[in-house]
Amino acid sequence: MIIKKLNIKSNERGSSTILEVLIVMGLVLFIIFFPAAVFSTTSKNLQLQDVMTLSLQMASIEGGLTDRVEDVIFDNMSAKGLIPEPDDPRYLAAREAVIISSNADARNGNFENILARDQDMPVINISILFPADVEVRLINGISRMMGARGDSLPIRGDGDWYYSASGYILSERVDY
């Protein structure tokens, strides 16, 4: 194939046409897929932001990050297609890859961390980290297609790159 190409290349007529087609194909693919990859990344981050917004409102009512709030976060992620549905065998692995943290973490019965509205400034913070390796691999692949060597964004194992969403709200919980 290469020899054939070289033969064509040595021939003045038509030689550059093949090269031009290859260059144009590479450029067209890059021009189409790179903005798509960038847009996909932004879109996924916005979806995660929506999940965080909903969970923060529920956390405000509950007074912190409870087990129920965590379940709602994963339900919303499933509904938005960020992780598989609960009956999918990949669900548990996908759930474990997501990192949720809070300053009022009341999961697993740690109710002493709950904040109530009559406290001085009961600010609840929730932060969600969601793996972004798929998108990073896509961007790396597209960059390599244009001649980049190695990974433009390095992946050093599972979960190196994350989408991040975090927010603050005051607790509404009434401590009876």
Q: Which residues of the chain form contacts with another protein (CB under 8 A)?
A: 16-17, 20-21, 23-24, 27-28, 30-31, 34-35, 38-39, 42, 45-46, 49, 53, 56-57, 60, 117-118, 121, 123, 125, 167-172
Minimum distance, C-beta of residue 49 to another protein, in the bound complex (Å): 6
Least separation in angstroms between CB 17 and another protein:
6
Nearer to another protein, 35 or 154 (CB): 35
**In what helix (H) or strand (E) does residue 9 lie, and over which residues does it extend?**
helix 2-10
Q: Which of 53, 63, 10 is nearest to 174 (CA)?
A: 63
Q: Quote the least distance from Cβ 83 to another protein, whole Å.
A: 21
Q: What are phi and psi of 123, to 5 degrees?
A: -80, 125
- Which residue's CB is nearer to another protein, number 36 or number 92? 36
Query: What is the C-alpha to C-alpha distance for residues 10 and 16, in angstroms, rounded to an integer?
Result: 10
User: With respect to another protein, which residue has the nearer C-beta, 33 or 91?
Assistant: 33
Q: How far is the CB of 121 from another protein (least distance, A)?
A: 7
d(CA 99, CA 5): 52
Separation CA 165–CA 126 (nearest Å): 8
Q: How far is CA 148 from CA 56, 139, 143, in A?
A: 41, 11, 6
* Residue nearer to another protein on the CB measure, 120 or 158: 120
